[in-house]
Homo-oligomer: A and B are copies of this chain.
Amino acid sequence: MTELRHRGTTENDLYQQSEDKGSENEGKAEGVSESETKPDTGLPEVPVPADDTPEVLNKALSGLSSRWKNWWVRGILTLAMISFFFIIIYLGPMVLMLIVLCVQIKCFQEIIHIGYSVYHSYHLPWFRTLSWYFLLCVNYFFYGETVTDYFFNLVQREEPLRILSKYHRLISFALYLTGFCMFVLSLVKKHYRLQFYMLSPKKTWEGFIGGFFSTVVFGILLSYVMAGYSFFVCPVEFNSDHNSFEVDCVPSDLFQLQDYALPATLESLTGWPTVRLYPFQIHSISLSAFASLMGPFGGFFASGFKRAFKIKDFANTIPGHGGIMDRFDCQYLMATFVNVYIASFIRGPNPAKVVQQLLALRLDQQLNIFNSLKSHLIERGLLEDVA
């Protein structure tokens, strides 16, 4: 952003620079390493890319003036690109998709190269590694759904593909989260290493481990209490008859007490062969574990942010506590995890939604589906074959 202000007065430099490009390149072939040795002026320095005109073109056009040479190079490459894309289209949609992927990767590489050159001097660690890693995450996230939609049969048949598709949301989240934690660690590493070793590391680890176990135990107990009230376990629904929102239902299996056999070691300790639990209590262990193991990274990130802007708190909304953001820094990570966890492990397919989509189809498509559903249900013995 600094640049926008500085450029204001010297807008024409850009165009002058491009005119001088040929001669500058020779001296600046290794711009990146050169900028390291210069004293840091606070302004990012992007090296001028080396001239990659093929030797054969340079030779063929050596008799021409710089302007005409450039015109010919541009024209020839334009024709080459157009021909290349015709060939791609001729080779069919799979090759086209592959080229789109390549173009995307190459564009990304060009942009992070610029970013790297600019932020290089600030020693942002793992900048390039993390950038490429996030490109991978984004591609998995976006291609994942499309590939499943298009090639459902192929995906179902190949076990690794099936897993990648079934837990698509969870895996995407785990990938992003890993990148996020690595980014935070790379930023705060120096600072927290100091804090961990200087300020009684034993106490910190005891607190961390103690916090983990107490969160898990508290979660199991609290979810036992809360699972007993339909207020906490039923979805809000809009009731058209009463024209109001209602919270009332037969609790799902998740909130019905069940007997669980205890492992032998625990059985001998307690004397109980089984315990009665709500299945949700098992899930509460995952949620508590995430809250105490991963939640802190939201706080670390907020600390890094605040340190970068030289502020102690985000605001002063709550006296003695700081801003609302200071109290909710971990909640954003946790809320996302809960959403992904519910979608991946708890919520099954929604029959009401399937019916909506079914009724949105053309009548002949509905009839087709009706007939295949009929034969499927006859096969499974749920319907009698009257034909």
What is A's interface to B at a CB cutoff of 8 Å? 1-5, 7-8, 11, 13-14, 17-18, 21, 42, 44, 46, 48-54, 57, 70, 73-78, 81, 92-94, 103, 106-107, 110-111, 113-114, 118-119, 122-124, 149-154, 157, 187, 190-191, 194, 231, 235-238, 240, 245, 247, 304, 307-321, 323-325, 327-328, 348-363, 365-370, 372-374, 376-377, 380, 382-383, 386
Q: If A151-B238, A310-B46 touch, does A2 touch B122 (CB 8 Å cutoff)?
A: yes
Chain B residues whose C-beta falls within 8 Å of the C-beta of A372 in the assembled complex: 355
Q: How far is the CA of A17 from the CA of B258 in the complex (A)?
A: 55
Closest Cβ of chain B to A127, distance in Å, is: 10
Most chain B CB atoms below 10 A, which of A1, A317, A354: A354
Contacts of A2 in B (CB 8 A): 42, 122
Report, nearest first, the 7 A-B pairs whose CB atoms are least far apart: A74-B320, A49-B316, A73-B320, A53-B319, A110-B315, A3-B308, A18-B312
Given B113, B323, B351, B363, which contacts A382 in the complex, CB threshold below 8 Å?
A: B363
Asked if A358 and B356 make an inter-chain contact with CB atoms under 8 angstroms apart, the answer reads no
Instruction: Establish whether residues B358 and A1, one from each chain, have CB atoms under 8 Å apart when the complex forms.
Output: no
Whether B77 lies near A318 (C-beta < 8 A) is yes
- A–B pairs, 8, beta carbons within 8 Å: A8-B190, A44-B309, A49-B313, A93-B245, A107-B324, A152-B356, A354-B358, A367-B382
Given contacts A52-B316, A351-B361, A359-B376, 8 further A-B contacts (CB under 8 A): A1-B122, A3-B309, A11-B191, A18-B312, A49-B316, A54-B319, A355-B372, A370-B374
